[in-house]
A and B are shown apart, each in its own frame.
Chain A
Amino acid sequence: MNCWRVQNLVAPFLEGLLPSAECTSVEEHLEGCPECQELVSGVAALPDLSPPSIGGVDEAALMDSLQQCIEQSIAESRADDFLPMGASPLEVDAEPTNRIAARGGARSGPLQISVGLAAAYLAVALLLAGGVVINHLRVRSLEASIASRDALIDALQDRLVTQEQPTFADYALVPGPSPVFLPAAAPGALSPFGNGTNDVSSRGGLAAPYRQVSLDGMPVIH
C-alpha cells in the first residue's frame, strides 16, 4: 500500500466500508507515514456535509403541484400520440410502456401508421407518373430533332447534286464568314459533300486536295 492508494481509499476507510484486508493494509501504511496520517485525520475532521435546510416553506404544496404538473405533461404527450384525452394519466390504465417496448414499437397509433403509408404510396405514385411524362416528352423531342435533321440533310444533298462545286478562287466573291479548309476524304469514299476534291492544287494554292467548309463546319453552298 502506498500513499496514492491510501488517498484513494480515505473515504470508505473513514466510513468503515473497506473490506477488512484493505482496511488492515491502510492501517499498516498509516503507522509508518506521518503525511498520510495528517491527511486522514484532516479529512476525518471535516464538518459533516448535510443538505440545506428549509424553514417555514410549505414543501408539501410544492410537491402536490409537482405531481399535477407531471400528470398534465404526460396527458399532453399522450394526446400527441393520439391516445384518449381527458382522464388523468396516472389513473387511466393505458398499455404499459414496457410492453410496447417489448413489442419493438414506438408509441404510434394505427391512424398514424395509415396516414404515413398513404403518404408514402402517394409520393411513389407521383414520382412514377412524373418519370413517365418526362420520358414521353424526351422521346417526342428527339423524334422532332431527328426529323428536322433528315430534312436538312436531304435539302443539302439536293443542292449539292444540282449545283457545281465551288472553287477556292470563287471564294473571294462569296460574302460571309471566311472559309476553313479540311482534308478531303479519300478518293472514291462516299461523302455527303461529293467526291471531296477540288482543283486548288493545280492553281498552286494548296498542296493537298481540300474541300471548302464555312466556320460552322457546313459545306459552303452557292
Chain B
Amino acid sequence: MGQPRLKLVPEPETSSPSDDSIKALAAESHEQAFNQLVLKYRQRIYRHALYITKDSQEAFDVAQDVFVRAYHEGRLFSEDFQMKAWLYRVCTNRCYNIVRDRQRRGSILNRLGKQETALKVHHNAIDAVLDREQSDEMARHLARLSPEHRTILVLRYYDDLSYQEIADTLQVKLGTVMSRLSRAKVRLHQLVVDGGLR
C-alpha cells in the first residue's frame, strides 16, 4: 500500500526522562512527575495490552485503568519501587483477566456489548491490522502457546524488556526468566515443526 507502515515498537528510552529523574521530580511536584510518567509509558502500556488482548478498545481501557491505579499507588515514586515493572505487571494481569472473561462469555457477545466511542475509527483500524497480523504464521503459533509462555515472549520480543525487567515484572528470579523463555521458544519451535509437517 501507499501509506507508510508505522511499526509498533516502543520509543527508545533516550527520548524520554529516566525513571530516576521522574522520581526526583516527584519530590517537587507529584503531578508533574505523574504527567511525565504517563507521557513516557502510555504508548508502551497501551501496546502491551494490545498484544495480549488483541483488541484496541480493551487495550485502551486497560491502559487507562493502569495509570489511574498508578496515580493512587502510594509507593509509585518511592526510591526502591520498580515502577516500570509495576506498570507492566498490573497491565498484564488486567489483560489476562479480560482474556479469561472473554473466553468465558464468548468474544461475539463481548464485541456486541461495546460502546460506540469517538475513537471507534482508530480502534477499528488497529483491530483490522491486528486481524491481518493474526493470519501471519508466527502470530498464529504464538496464540496457541500457554499464557505463561506467550507473556514472557511478548515482554521480551514485543516490549523489549531486559531479563531483569521481566523478572521484576513477573516477580520471579532471573534464572526462572531464562528457563521459562527457553522453554517458550522450544515450544514455539515444536509448533512450527508440527505445523510444517501437516
Contact = CB atoms under 8 A, between A and B. Distances in A.
Indicate whether A and B interact. Answer: yes
A55 B185 contact: no
Nearest to B81: A98
Contact of A97 (B35, B74, B186): B74
Given A8-B179, A97-B74, A54 B129 contact: yes
Contacts of A32: none
A13 B186 CA distance: 13
B181 A12 contact: yes
A96 interface: yes
Given A54-B129, A62-B122, A63-B42, A10 B3 contact: no
B108 interface: no
A101 B29 CA distance: 16
Interface in A125-151: none
Contact of B46 (A9, A12, A63): A63
B189 A43 contact: yes
Contact of B60 (A66, A89, A94): A66
A109 interface: no
Interface in B35-50: 35, 38-39, 42-43, 46-47, 50
A56 interface: yes
Interface stretch (B13-21, B63-71, B85-93, B95-103): B63-71
A51 interface: yes
Interface string A87-113: 001111111111011100001000000
Nearest to A42: B189
Interface string A69-98: 110011001000000000001111111111
A211 B125 CA distance: 103
Contacts, number: 168
Contacts of A46: 138, 185, 188-189, 192
Contact of B75 (A9, A42, A101): A101
B148 interface: no
Interface residues of B, number: 65
Majority DSSP secondary structure for residues of B touching A: helix
Contacts of B107: none
B193 interface: yes
Contacts of A8: 178-179, 182-183
B1 interface: yes
A51 B51 contact: yes
A93 to B, nearest CB: 5
Contacts of B34: 90
A74 B4 CA distance: 35
A67 B67 CA distance: 9
A68 to B, nearest CB: 10
A47 interface: yes
Contact of B126 (A54, A67, A97): A54
A65 B6 contact: no
Nearest to A59: B6
B42 A66 contact: yes
* 9 nearest A-B pairs in the assembled complex, by CB-CB distance: A101-B74, A96-B30, A49-B157, A8-B179, A56-B3, A11-B182, A51-B158, A11-B181, A52-B133
Interface of A: 7-13, 17, 39, 42-43, 46-59, 61-63, 65-67, 69-70, 73-74, 77, 89-98, 100-102, 107
Interface of B: 1, 3-9, 26, 29-32, 34-35, 38-39, 42-43, 46-47, 50-51, 56, 60, 63-64, 67-68, 71-78, 118-119, 122-123, 125-126, 129-130, 133, 138-139, 142, 153, 157-158, 163, 178-179, 181-186, 188-189, 192-193
